[in-house]
Amino acid sequence: MTLSAAERYVQLGLRLGRHDDGVVDAYFGPPELAAAVEAEPLAAPARLVADAEALLGDLADSWLRDQVAGLHTFARVLAGESLSFADEVHGCYGIRPVHTDEAVFATAHARLEELLPGSGPLLDRYQSWRESTLVPTGQIAPTIAAVIEEARAQTRAFAELPAGEGYALEMVSDEPWMGYNYYLGDLRGRVVINESLATSSFELLHLAIHETYPGHQAERCLKEHLLVRGQGLIEEAIVLAPTPQSLISEGIGELAPELVLQGEGADAFAAILHRAGLKLDLSFAFAIEQARLDCHWGMVNAALMLNEHGASEAEVQSYLERWGLLNAEQSGHAVRFATEPSSRTYVPVYPVGRELCRSFVDGQPERFGALLTRQLRVSDLSQ
pLDDT at residue 127 in the model: 94
d(CA 190, CA 199): 20
Phi and psi at 192, nearest 5°, equal -115, 130
pLDDT score of 196: 82
What pLDDT does residue 287 have? Answer: 95
Q: Where along the chain do its domains lie?
A: 5-82, 116-291+348-381
Question: Could you say which residues of the chain have pLDDT below 70?
Answer: 176
pTM here is 0.95
The conformation of residue 187, written as its DSSP 8-state character, comes to T
* CA atoms of 312 and 339, how far apart (whole Å): 11
The answer to whether 79 and 24 are in contact (CB under 8 A) is no
- Nearest 5 degrees, angle CA 201-CA 150-CA 170? 65
- In this prediction, residue 92 carries a pLDDT of 98
pLDDT of residue 382: 83
231-243: pLDDT as tens digits: 999 999 999 999 9
The whole-number pLDDT of residue 378 equals 97
Torsion of CA 116, 120, 121, 124, to 10 degrees: -70
What is residue 88's predicted lDDT score, i.e. its pLDDT? 98
pLDDT, residue 179, reads: 86
pLDDT digits (tens, 9 = 90+) for 59-115: 999 999 999 999 999 999 999 999 999 999 999 999 999 999 999 999 999 999 999
